[in-house]
Structure 1
């Protein structure tokens, strides 16, 4: 994914609602018979779609599960679902003692439902959960140092100073143009100049821009125009998530169900932190935290995170295996335009 695609993803998360847009025009009932043509090899599968024309009726969206829930008894929880305590445990989505993680706080708010956000109200609950997860869970001690790419003022050399962290900025005047210029330099191969601009805006004692902190964290993680430093990358990604969460807390407190101006930055940072926990990039591998971050980002509209948390449920990575839950997230990703080959089951 290019950096431009990353920005488009951020804007889409911010602008989209919790529910996919309803189709326009005539629709067909899901009960009307439908033919599906599939071409397969030993390792791939491709669905052949017939041509469509303006005005053709569209079929109503299918259920999130490929078949009625009753046909998948083996995917249900082993807990006693008929008892009130069993149902409460099933929908709390908290941590079990066996899946304890130092990077996941114990006081995560309950979200209710089946754990998949489909309405603005449900998504708002997940965003409140996200703000607690990133501000109370991931702790790295001191803030990261001023980026080495940023030149220091001659007036400050040789004089002891006390770092003072500025409040986070989201879309400050001039920052957007600087980020676009840094992306242009990155795509033209001038990685050092690009990373220098990202670092300048990411400086917690300077602009403290959340989006720049995400991009600078990625540059540090992968060594784009600088020496790779995965531990410091995690610090900047964590700072981006915390800064964005503070902005979103204010928006949610003001009654904005779709979140505020920093929702896109928050989700991007959480998804990249999940990748760090999953792969051990700059931090000890933590399957439980990876699954929690993927799942939270997925419920805030990140289609990549939807596919990744589905993988967690399929493989039992940081959670118990649950193919029905995996299918729910795969169908949700499909409904938002991110379908992966081989996952239509």
Structure 2
């Protein structure tokens, strides 16, 4: 089982760009260390940390004469990956916003991440949440913090939606789930008031699409049962097994198979 977020990182994810001094972390919250002789002030967490293997195609350019949303996205990624200081990061954030305004879900996600972590723009978690949420808007009904309404449907998808979601939207779903899990910029909430029930709603949507990161985070929340979410070790084991099938390391998770064995024995009338 993954360690709690605070134990994995000690602090929230930040970058060293907007006067921050905390160590950056990757998408899964692991602290990024620097090689001997590396220039820490110029380090920029690669955007690949936020991409699953099936999302590696994001940012491919188009052949249009005028920059498209995907062109701006690629320009933003290039600037971010090659940045040596605030100027390149500012340009990167500018291109991400242009991509987002052009309708790119990935642009919404990357611009939201820039705002969340202060990558070339002033850090603003509330605006970050808005842009990340916008990345989900093409397929999801307007999210609500009304838990009663969510309990009634147990889904954020519009009625009758069966389509496979794009990699960009799944990435947006994951990041919005992170916002609810850690109380990052969610309207009407305080920094110390995570909402794991809402986080689980988002993670479940991504998990059902076969995304490993969403599966792992959903399982982790279900195994903890905190901040408004009921503990459910059976479902947690199910999603951990799904994540393991998708490549998650099984170290420390042998219990998820024992739970399945017990369930099979109970169904068979044992003891």
State if a TM-score over 0.5 links the two structures.
yes
Q: Distance in 2 between matches of 1:13 and 1:193?
A: 22
Corresponding residue pairs, total: 178
Secondary structure at 1:241 match in 2 = coil
TM-score (normalised: structure 1): 0.47
Unpaired runs of at least 5, structure 1: 15-170
Counterpart selection for 1:272 from 149, 155, 175 = 175
Alignment match, 1:330: 240
Q: Is the 8 A contact 1:244 1:265 kept in 2?
A: no
Structure 2 gap ranges (5+): 1-26, 28-45, 142-156, 256-271
Residue by residue, what CA displacement relative to the aligned partner does 1:270-323 show, whole Å, maximum 9, x if unpaired?
111111011111012322101111112111121011111111111113432222
Of residues 240, 245, 252, the one that matches 1:342 is 252
Relative to 1, partners in 2 of residues 1:311 and 1:199: Cα closer, same or farther, differing over 3 Å?
same
2: CA distance between counterparts of 1:243 and 1:172? 24
Residue 77 (structure 2) aligns with: 183
1:201 and 1:212 in contact (8 A); partners too? yes
Aligned mate of 1:241, from 133, 136, 143: 136
Quote the Cα distance in structure 1 between the aligned partners of 2:128 and 2:63: 23
Identify the residue that residue 153 of structure 1 maps to in structure 2. Answer: none
What secondary structure sits across from 2:70 in the alignment?
helix
Q: Whose radius of gyration is greater, 1 or 2?
A: 1
Give the conservation status (yes or no) of the 8 Å contact 2:69–2:103.
no
1:76-225 map, 5 Å: 174-189=68-83, 190-203=88-101, 207-225=102-120
From the superposition, tell whether residues 288 and 242 of structure 1 become closer, same or farther in structure 2 (CA, over 3 Å).
Answer: same
CA distance in 1 between counterparts of 2:123 and 2:97 reads 14
Asked if the contact 2:51–2:171 (Cα under 8 Å) also holds between the matched residues in 1, the reply is no
